[in-house]
Amino acid sequence: MKKVLFYMVGKYVNAASFFSKSYATKLALFLFTKPRKGQITRSQGEFLDTAFKEELKYVDYHIMTYRWLGNKPTVLLAHGWESNAARWQPIIQNLKPKGFNIVALDAPAHGNSGSDFFDAFLYSEFINVVAKRFHAEIIIGHSVGGMASVISQHNHKLEQVKKLILIGSPSEYKGLLERYTNMLGYNQRIKIQLNSIIIERFGQEPSSVSTAKYLKNIKSQGLIIHDEEDDVIPYNDALLVKDSFNNASFISTKGLGHSYNNPKVTDYINEFIET
């Protein structure tokens, strides 16, 4: 059913491009940056109500944060696309009794944070604001939350961040864009114009944004966890990241898919941050 829907949307956008390339491309960008999910459910809200909540700001956007207090170093948790801070519940419930100070945030256009759209560049600024406010020493990012965390460190170089954990994270922004355009079956007119409008709107050439490239100059100690059967972010992305992140350990898993909410992953994280 989902494949049929994607096919129909792609056909509509392609057809529209012959009448108005500008309209079709803006629609394609809207679909690329507008999450369909990621709002907080009732059960997730009940868990997040156990935290101290604080709203921060970046420019005109509000950033919702959730804190579980402890006397050990601060761990900052950055979730992925169409998710929210509650996705970290298993890891939070594991780290909290150990005394870590834990902070999670909702990404742009997700959960209780602001913005009508999502992109990794805006998310990276959210992460920087939160990391500075709570003096995060460890950052854990899942999926595009990992990419945004790396972009944040690349741009702001916070020396306080001693450890960086990337779980199922992409390497190349261009790859994310290509997988999206291929999934929708967009024609070449849309692909070329979409590349141009991203440069215009975000000031970045998609091919220049690379987790792997940025990690070459990041001094934090790293841990990379990626599943061979991840059906969202290809395993090869992890290999690119591994080859560039010189101060990192690499753990390859199998059969976990893209969620990584698994006791094995929690154990790997525990071992890494407590050593």
Contact in structure between 169 and 233 (CB atoms under 8 Å) = yes
Return the minimum-mean-pLDDT range out of 8-17, 44-53, 66-75, 123-132. 8-17
| CA 45 to the chain's CA centroid | 21
d(CA 44, CA 60): 26
* Residue 257 falls in which region: left (phi positive, over 0), alpha (psi -120 to 50) or beta: left
The reported pTM is 0.95
Each domain of the chain, given as residue ranges in start order, spans: 1-33+173-208, 42-172+210-273
Neighbour count for residue 267 (Cβ, 10 Å)? 11
Residues near 116 by Cβ (< 8 Å), separated by ≥ 6?
Answer: 34, 109
Domain 42-172+210-273: which CATH class? alpha beta
Burial letters 170-201, b for 16+ CB under 10 A, else e? bbbbbbbbeeebeebebbeebbebbbeebeee
Q: Which tens digit of pLDDT belongs to each residue from 197-248?
A: 888 888 888 999 999 999 999 999 999 999 999 999 999 999 999 999 999 9
